[in-house]
Structure 1
């Protein structure tokens, strides 16, 4: 049996190491002097007012609407405003703050700019499927340009929660299941939003969320309990948050869930020990929507007690709940909260405003000329189309039914063919669905060589109870004048006239995102009935999916000729989909989240641990199901192309790696098909023996390569001991000598393997 000879610590026990304190630079000194002088003039109530973030304006994402906000602004009891944008609306409130208050302190203006502001890009889960961090950074940069031109200076993004349960609706907002990929995307988005200088008028504060562990809520149910070991936190769930902090994210949002039995917004270990002491975060923490108030229902105290625990955690800004302005003055008077704690929170918020340059020019974000120039310009639309194309994942393509031939008669069937609203998806904020280009509009503009046909086929949703849940929140679900049976008959007649059927189905946008958890994540029954009727025609069927989460598609995988996952592709989704279907663009997306065969497999993720009785189909008493394979329907990293790629053997520069050295792993990738294509080459590592159990595979690198037909390229990865570090049972970050496997291929299912030893 192989044994590790020794453990090589990379750092001392977390939280106990001394952090070098950088010298204060002149700009920092000027800010410190300014903020200190301002705070000396402030009353206690004015300081507490800076911690208040009410909602006023056009959009509400929770059950509470702030009351009397304008009067509170005039009294200096508001630090920022949530949900107000446009130069006109922002100027009105900012003028109130800087002309009608005693100290003329400007406001922050925050909004949920999640995947674009006015120009909408694919949902974040879709963007993550591009594995193109440079492009993702550009989408965040474009969103910041638009948002800042619309009066905003703060976005509540990126959402970086690791998510392994697709029943949870908010998987649509994140980057999937992997900490390495999630960390790369977190860094890209922070840098895209914040740019290289927050004082520029086209940069905004980013806010990493939801800190922490929100993606692991039990049963995939939103707002639910989270419970896990600290070793899992540090190895699997913390890395993307830490990556955002290291990238300089300005703000952090606390999560709704509890951590170790304490709600995050009151969790001193999370907010002080981890975030500030271990990671060195210097910005401020804002709660999620009314999260302080909701700690009462969690059961840790009344309004006064939860406000006390929140400020002591600390979280600095109270989103919408207003318990800080209601309770903190009395808590200070009673000696239960110190003035120093209030001062610390106020200082961090004032520093954020200073860094944005608001004290120099409170109106820097209210230029109507910039608004006209930046909003939905041609450059941003082109980027939106590129992002939509790169986000699509070809899940199946039997007999190369795709790409479609422009010479063939194609039937486009389904309630999403002409749909615009669902194209921009959930969390589309200020996006206008009427500006989105539908698939049908794109077809009419593009296809002239052969006739193409349309039939609706079915309603998006027939279930009245479900429609009644979704429609009050803007779902716009209406039944067709024809009966469901008549719609299917018409679809079958249309299919029979065609050579190929393309069916557009999926989730209405309201079925994913916040407060949109599902216990059954298959296509809805009425959509399945349509597909089964179309299958009876004997025509090849291409299923085009629009949805915000992995779906269970076992029947569809067995019976459809091709399946193209397009997510909610955004403003330019229609033209992007048409280009991919007809081969003007070659799909290159790779899944960032595993697709299960059925919900009984959930949670299902590639980087799991082995059991003491790993799967053996020839032995009964091993870890497996009686009724379904352990394997997913589509694994993490899966994604086909119209061409094909082959991988050569992995060539290592050596068989051993020293603790101060490096190793290269090289593989030759060849385009063996007929189309030019882009492949995401993925590097995984397995640590075979550890002082604590290790995953069967871990993503450690990826590289995108574009190849012409017949072309080969060598792709090289460098592996260092730092790439092999993990947190051990004492929460020390270490690498351990011993044997490792390295895998390189086109998905996490690759078996292309080599072996090396860390000495």
Structure 2
């Protein structure tokens, strides 16, 4: 069978790099030795061109798989923060394997149909994001596994190892943990920001997940961050990329920069005065591959003696070794290299897994007995997120065949005879720019022109009329002779608003877009990026005609282009109030969206947006029982005592609406736990630019939060008993054993959590920390006895050089359904075991983490 990724057109078919029996390193080195300098430089950029004389196909190093492979259609699982709330590493393992199955299937299918692959169609994936969500304002926190280093590490290991599917040095796909390291806001300043970090915080909070991903999961790729750490830009940091990643952890794969990060070394960090100099510094430090266009200057750097060809070769050997390990240069397609059929994409099995993941991610925060809903004959569903199909997908997402909104889920799951009524009630935000401009205000329609290039040059290949600009082509393209990738478009129209006032006006697009109003440019985001919105506020007068021009280009992968706005909203809650009064109960689906919290968009507050707060107050004033469902990727301070039930749904993916409805009506017993702290207000949070952990997250926080990390309620009750702790003789760790009985009438999952705290601990040592967890399913009346290993590295504290030591002293080991002092009411009181531990230095070598034992 001829490898789909490699046409054997090489001049010498017996060349060592084509011999699968030779060591991968030898094959890669042989291939690199045959490249010219110009070819070498080109292969170190993410859009690597073909080298026909050697049979090297073109390859784009850029695919995403945060919670599903980016494509259309694909299976979209809950956003990463929701997956973390499951506290289920087995679920994470299954999700990761399913995602890479779909990614590899799409790779081979695209290669077979088109003869090449492009953006979001490769076998290297820039996931997972394992930065620490230390501040609730950070816009990318939804992409992470939360604020805890241990939970993040365990989820990262489960994702990376199962995503890559390594067998005998061969990979099904390559995961790329990001962003190495420390990075977590302020996001708009990342291109020049310097994170000043105490080395003890770095080793105890910011690095453990990366260490686990590399030393335990075998990650073959790492993405460097934009920002600097203690004065060294991460993408050219000898400390991070050399001393820590390769020298200390033994990393053998390749490092890729975040997109544009090498250019930031020049323009933002001022690391040197020329592109050639900053490129040489990055490669020398260990950044092998650039996403961007600055590495083109490496030819100049070699010519001027700034860098040697040997250093380029070092990086190139790593890059081609990865491609060889993925099977791109072999005809035998076996093991993890075996082509996976497209039938796995959005398959019934993957849809079922997406639903399971959504069910496990739901967190019940408050319940005065109203949930599950029973005997409700009429139910009002109110809120701007209730019927939305985009919000559940979060960000860095693909496009599923169908997304079930919470409203649809309720309509499907509600008992027969239940009258379900709906109204949006309010806008999501004051000035949210997320709705396509309707045809009703575009008299005469829209004139579109499409070009066979990315810069609108030459004559259009297609002219087309449409009612408005609301295009979501996915990976298919506009048709009519327009290619799927590498095209551009221009639309013109006349806008006649019906209401005077301040409008949010702009575009939502994947990739570049810019908009003019009466020949004045109002938004400009002319770059390659996933679908995102860019809007500005403009005053418009009712009945007046405005000239609209929108330009767009599609580079590669997914394609979408929409002219969007939000008309001036005078919130009128009358319809919602009337609907609530006519109903037995109300479910309000509130929150924010991936357009509000995202890349380069940190939040300024953690309150419910004003229009929704007003809506909530108006509906609560009716006196009808109200359950609030929150869709968000981070905490919202929703604390009104009149709320009867509160459910955190996160961005729950394509099946999230079904899962939420099943929880509301008791078909599923919720067992998700918060992977982040829900704060009462930002007064409990240090400034976002302050990277010192003192006072941050549950590990160092002394004040009482709104809802603590690890918190979540159930529809049944559990009782803990017979807890005891044994010392492990092999490595200095512990075995924690506890019995948990379901004393309620409903079967359900309990997340057994183990926390350690040392008497007298103070920063930089955590006040308390999660050291083990296990999710167990327990039938009514049943009792399970669980023995959970505690890794000694979890008990230990790192010094400023990363040396792990169990500090001597009196330790409190808490075993329960939540943090010590914050056990959920449905979990009952946890159990404490007090013991003394002696000082012990823990080896940094790889150690296998044992699974829990259930009796």
| TM-score of the pair, normalised by structure 2 | 0.73
Matching of residue 140 in structure 1 with residue 96 in structure 2: yes
Instruction: Identify which of 620, 628, 631 aligns with 1:535.
Output: 620
* Counterpart position of 1:307: 279
The CA distance in 2 between the partners of 1:678 and 1:182, in whole Å, is 21
The CA distance in 1 between the partners of 2:186 and 2:385, in whole Å, is 32
Alpha-carbon shift at residue 219 of structure 1 (Å)? 8.8
Task: Please say which of residues 470-479 and 132-141 is displaced more in the overlay.
Answer: 470-479
The CA distance in 2 between the partners of 1:198 and 1:552, in whole Å, is 49
* Counterpart position of 2:66: 114
* Counterpart position of 2:289: 317
* Counterpart position of 2:579: 494
Instruction: Identify which of 777, 786, 789 aligns with 1:706.
Output: 777
Matching of residue 328 in structure 1 with residue 298 in structure 2: yes
Alpha-carbon shift at residue 265 of structure 1 (Å)? 0.7
Matching of residue 374 in structure 1 with residue 344 in structure 2: yes
Matching of residue 292 in structure 1 with residue 262 in structure 2: yes
What whole-Å deviation, never above 9, does each CA across 1:595-647 have from its counterpart, x for those lacking one? Answer: 11001211599xx9889xxxxxxxxxxx99xxxx9211111100111112233
The CA distance in 2 between the partners of 1:214 and 1:28, in whole Å, is 41
Alpha-carbon shift at residue 712 of structure 1 (Å)? 2.8
Alignment of 1:124-523 (within 5 A): 124-151=80-107, 152-197=122-167, 203-215=172-184, 217-218=185-186, 224-246=193-215, 247-296=217-266, 297-302=268-273, 303-320=275-292, 322-325=293-296, 327-361=297-331, 372-398=342-368, 400-405=369-374, 407-428=376-397, 430-432=398-400, 435-447=402-414, 448-463=416-431, 467-468=504-505, 471=508, 474=532, 484-486=570-572, 488-523=573-608
Kept in 2, the 8 Å contact 1:586–1:677? The answer is: yes
The CA distance in 1 between the partners of 2:428 and 2:149, in whole Å, is 34
* Counterpart position of 2:655: 572
Shift of the 458–695 alpha-carbon distance from structure 1 to 2, 3 Å rule, reads same
The CA distance in 2 between the partners of 1:517 and 1:468, in whole Å, is 20
1:509 counterpart SS class:
coil
* Counterpart position of 1:618: none
Matching of residue 36 in structure 1 with residue 29 in structure 2: yes
1:440 counterpart SS class:
helix
The CA distance in 2 between the partners of 1:147 and 1:682, in whole Å, is 34
The CA distance in 1 between the partners of 2:32 and 2:532, in whole Å, is 44
2:177 counterpart SS class:
strand
1:703 counterpart SS class:
strand
Shift of the 422–733 alpha-carbon distance from structure 1 to 2, 3 Å rule, reads same
Alpha-carbon shift at residue 110 of structure 1 (Å)? 2.7
Kept in 1, the 8 Å contact 2:628–2:646? The answer is: yes
Shift of the 220–235 alpha-carbon distance from structure 1 to 2, 3 Å rule, reads farther
Shift of the 496–707 alpha-carbon distance from structure 1 to 2, 3 Å rule, reads same
Task: Please say which of residues 413-422 and 26-35 is displaced more in the overlay.
Answer: 26-35
Which one has the bigger strand percentage?
A: 2
Alpha-carbon shift at residue 717 of structure 1 (Å)? 2.9
Kept in 1, the 8 Å contact 2:88–2:774? The answer is: no
Where does structure 1 lack aligned partners over 5 or more consecutive residues? 1-25, 55-77, 80-96, 612-622
Kept in 2, the 8 Å contact 1:676–1:708? The answer is: yes
Which one has the bigger helix percentage?
A: 1
Alpha-carbon shift at residue 195 of structure 1 (Å)? 0.9
* Counterpart position of 2:633: 548
Kept in 2, the 8 Å contact 1:162–1:213? The answer is: yes
* Counterpart position of 1:15: none
Kept in 1, the 8 Å contact 2:126–2:176? The answer is: yes
Alpha-carbon shift at residue 523 of structure 1 (Å)? 1.2
1:233 counterpart SS class:
helix
Shift of the 276–200 alpha-carbon distance from structure 1 to 2, 3 Å rule, reads closer
Shift of the 364–552 alpha-carbon distance from structure 1 to 2, 3 Å rule, reads farther
Kept in 2, the 8 Å contact 1:167–1:221? The answer is: no
The CA distance in 2 between the partners of 1:337 and 1:136, in whole Å, is 42
Instruction: Identify which of 674, 685, 696 aligns with 1:591.
Output: 674
Where does structure 2 lack aligned partners over 5 or more consecutive residues? 1-18, 108-121, 435-503, 510-530, 534-561, 822-829, 839-855
* Counterpart position of 2:485: none
Kept in 2, the 8 Å contact 1:501–1:539? The answer is: yes
Kept in 1, the 8 Å contact 2:506–2:565? The answer is: no
Matching of residue 49 in structure 1 with residue 64 in structure 2: no
Kept in 2, the 8 Å contact 1:543–1:562? The answer is: yes
1:452 counterpart SS class:
strand
The CA distance in 2 between the partners of 1:193 and 1:659, in whole Å, is 30
Alpha-carbon shift at residue 192 of structure 1 (Å)? 2.2
Instruction: Identify which of 700, 703, 708 aligns with 1:630.
Output: 703
Alpha-carbon shift at residue 690 of structure 1 (Å)? 7.3
The CA distance in 1 between the partners of 2:314 and 2:223, in whole Å, is 17
Alpha-carbon shift at residue 137 of structure 1 (Å)? 1.3
Shift of the 107–182 alpha-carbon distance from structure 1 to 2, 3 Å rule, reads same
Alpha-carbon shift at residue 220 of structure 1 (Å)? 9.2
The CA distance in 2 between the partners of 1:720 and 1:159, in whole Å, is 23
What whole-Å deviation, never above 9, does each CA across 1:418-460 have from its counterpart, x for those lacking one? Answer: 21111211111x324x621222333333332321211111122
Q: CA RMSD in A?
A: 3.2
* Counterpart position of 1:93: none
Matching of residue 648 in structure 1 with residue 724 in structure 2: no
Shift of the 222–415 alpha-carbon distance from structure 1 to 2, 3 Å rule, reads farther
What whole-Å deviation, never above 9, does each CA across 1:522-579 have from its counterpart, x for those lacking one? Answer: 111000000000011001110001111112223x3x2311110001111111111111
Shift of the 198–686 alpha-carbon distance from structure 1 to 2, 3 Å rule, reads same
The CA distance in 1 between the partners of 2:757 and 2:430, in whole Å, is 47
Shift of the 589–102 alpha-carbon distance from structure 1 to 2, 3 Å rule, reads same
What whole-Å deviation, never above 9, does each CA across 1:497-517 have from its counterpart, x for those lacking one? Answer: 111100001102211221220
Alpha-carbon shift at residue 369 of structure 1 (Å)? 9.8
The CA distance in 2 between the partners of 1:369 and 1:470, in whole Å, is 38
